[in-house]
Amino acid sequence: MNTIAPTNSSTAQAANQARAAAAEEAQNEGVLSSDFETFLNMLSVQMKNQDPLNPTDSTEFASQLAQFSTVEQQTLTNKLLQNMSSQFTSNDLSSLSTWVGMEARVAAPANFSGSAIEVAPNANTSADSAFLIVRDSDGTEVQRYAIDPKKGSVTWSGIDDAGNVFEDGLYTFVTESYANGEKLDSVYADTYARVSEARMTDKGVMLSTADGIEFASDDVIALREPQAS
């Protein structure tokens, strides 16, 4: 005896709705085509049988013909727009998928879980010295140490000055740049975050990581393949 697998109700309902929509669209197009052909036949019959001494105003026929043509063109235009919309949606989703799995360089908190974190300090180009400041999730400064302002990236080990490993959690990095002993500026340093989700919002494309860190794609200044741990 053959066993019939149960059908998922939501899937079946969605399929039925899709078929109904397609059938309705086909029916509407068929009705429009039929009505237009009927109108042309009626127009031909009326013109053949009109009173030669009192002919029907041709302007009225032309007006009705124009109205039918307008409706037909509008239907074709709507169908074209629907196809374009579907294509754009598909392209948007394809574009979003390119973010997932990549490492994005962005000025955002980084999650520390025992492994060193690569940091891009963004030190002022005029600086002759700089400090990297580490802040915990509460914004409290937990570490500060000198770095080479000319280096494009440094590694934060996650170990304090006493040799203790910091607790797991989110940490933010800030770079203070100095020249001749005077502070030039203080800017957020960049870190690399692996994107786990990309989605369209009214604010544009938003990216998020598995750690719950979220940032806008417009804030990303570089993208790279995942680096080996």
Using CA of residue 6, residue 10, residue 13, residue 14, what is the dihedral sign?
A: negative
According to the model, what pLDDT value does residue 191 have? 96
Judged against a pLDDT cut of 70, whether residue 146 lies above it is answered with yes
Continuous H helices in the chain: 9-49, 58-97
**Which of 178, 191, 193 is closest to 123 using CA atoms?**
178
Judged against a pLDDT cut of 80, whether residue 50 lies above it is answered with no
188's tokens: 């957020």
| Domain-wise residue ranges, the chain | 10-49+56-97, 103-224
According to the model, what pLDDT value does residue 202 have? 86
The answer to whether 212 and 194 have CB atoms below 8 angstroms apart is no
Give the class (CATH, top level) of 103-224: mainly beta
Q: How far apart are the C-alpha atoms of 133 and 115, rounded to whole Å?
A: 18
pTM check: above 0.75: no
Per-residue pLDDT, averaged over 198-203, amounts to: 88
Highest mean pLDDT (candidates 32-41, 47-56, 137-146): 137-146
Number of CB atoms found within 10 A of residue 84's CB: 10
According to the model, what pLDDT value does residue 12 have? 47
What is each CA distance from 78 to 17, 33, 59, 81, 88, in whole angstroms? 20, 15, 28, 5, 15
DSSP at 162: T
The answer to whether 190 and 107 have CB atoms below 8 angstroms apart is yes
According to the model, what pLDDT value does residue 45 have? 72
